[in-house]
Structure 1
Amino acid sequence: MEQLLQQIEQLKQEMNAATGSDSDAAEQFRIKYLGTKGIIKGLMGEMKNIPNDQKKNFGQVMNDLKQLAEEKWESLKGAAADAGASAGVDFDWTLPGAPVNVGGRHPISIVRNQIVSIFKRLGFAVAEGPEIEDDWHNFTALNMPENHTARDMQDTFYILQNPDWVLRTHTSSVQARVMEKQKPPIRIICPGRVYRNETISARAHCFFHQVEGLYIDEHVSFADLKQTLYFFVQEMFGKDVKIRFRPSYFPFTEPSAEMDISCTVCGGKGCSLCKHTGWVEILGCGMVHPKMLDNFGIDSSKYTGFAFGMGMERICQLKYRVNDLRLYSQNDVRFLDQFTGGV
């Protein structure tokens, strides 16, 4: 017991003599005396060897020692903090602050907002729908019944089967839901994300973004479709861009067409982007198939309409000359920083 008391007195003298003006010295003091493997923890373990009639007195001595160590540790921490504060007195507060990084919209969001703004000026409302769809809204209601060859054009992600639930392959399913609940006149655009089971490459991805449009009313003609899309192209790409229509096939429109614009890179002279043809395809379109109108109880003898659909990535590629679809979803700051100034 006497030997332990002498050791404790020596420790008190060491603690009182400890000095230091930085955080490292304070931390070393804590580890040496108050740490889980420190001196005080070790002395506490000697309690089992103290006679029972002296345990109370020894416990009081150890509590005093621990309290002294904690007070000294707080003192050393305070000295370190004061030293750090005094060292910063010479700081020039008139210096400019550190620059703050300003974020920006994603290029797809920029293009989406531009497309929505253009069609809103023509009276189109924005409609949205679920990304997980049933077979009826995604295929059958759009004149693609079971075993229809048009389904082979789309590699589909199936969530459930019998009944079939899929990740929507196009935003045409939104058109179906609108026609289900709303009677003509209908004038909407449907922007959103769609999914196809494709191998990811510079030209293809398992998900991408579409904007589809639908206009149904009395006396709607193909001429209305052409003028609507012509206005869109001029507003998006400039007044000098030319357009052309080529016959095509889509199960939900008849007649159907694909629309090309003169290449925005070479001006129609021919380059690698347009494969030296001078033209770039940007969308598919056509007059709404009468059977599709009948599926939703819309009188096809009274109403006609047109529909169109385009990929936002394709529009973005033409506006900003992005040559790899994977860049849109890789979150590479070096790529995204190029659009910081975008609205």
Structure 2
Amino acid sequence: MSTESGGVASAAAVGPPPGMKVRLSSNESPFGPSPAAVAAANAAIAEAHLYPDDQASALRAAIAQHDGLPVEQVAVGTGSAALLMDAIQHECAAAREARGDPGEVVSFARGFVVYRLGARNAGARYVEVETDGPATHERNGYGRDVERLLAAVTGDTRVVAVDNPGNPTGAHLTGDELRALVEGVPEHVTILLDEAYHHFARGEQDYATAAELGLDHPRLLVLRTFSKAHALAGLRIGQLTGPGALVASIDAWRSRFNVAAAAQAAAIASLDDLDHLRRTVDGTREGRTRMAAELRELGIPFTDGLGNFLTIELGTAADPVVAAYADRGVGVRPLAPYGMAEQIRVSVGTPDEIDLFLAASREVLADVPARA
């Protein structure tokens, strides 16, 4: 269990390699945004001389209607990562003011790197709860033990942050496990439940969202993004929902006019285009299944997760493997910032992009030790 709050350079954790024919390194949607979202963003740009609605009132109302929530329980920001950073710093600042100490942020090991960065920026201690080991040919890797996480929660814990499904490991909590976690966290602790990949996970392997489970906790905050299934990563838009007073207090910390008008307009239009969303999710799941089948045929262990990516075990240092893929025009993600030196994460692409990835894999992975 690690309690260090620093040690991660953000530049080491983001950005696709330049010059790739196929970008499978950043969990972007290869199917592009809704045409309606593009049209709405273009229309908004015609009024780019005007500041955006600081309250994002229309977007918040659209999210509230879509999720069946009162509008006061919804906030938006420049991606779920920014909202996570704001929420962690807000909660740790409140702890510092009340007790003279920012407290602790608890998460599973190899969780989304922003939790660690948020704790570092808040001056809080970051506590990582160890998970199971890497994937093997027989099972997925990095399984999470709820009881182990709950045992790490103390009177000094201010935030519990959980990505479900997890990035970059692909691990997830089942509905029963998530319920046990939320019910077991004390009421003084804020739960940040990161559901960035929920569209791709629903209905599979006993996964369930907080809303589907009807979970009730006075400090449960759920974060989602428009970057993945809605394919608006370049516009930076995310949402935070939870108890109204807590949401409002966190929202007050953001910079003014933080969500651009084009992003607001595109997100509203994307919420309405259910056909495009369904095609994106279906295409992603089909591609994920195809990639998984080929990796099994190649004898490569991996975690068959519920996001829009697979986490592959190499049994050797990842950097030369990443470079070998790059030589073939395929960008994949090394995972050193997560303490995973012998793993790579590969996003699901279009059928043509998957063809190129699989062709490269037959050469690049031919001799990796994990095949033994």
Q: TM-score, normalised by structure 2?
A: 0.23
Please say which structure displays the higher CA radius of gyration: 1
Instruction: Name the structure where strand makes up a greater proportion of residues.
Output: 1
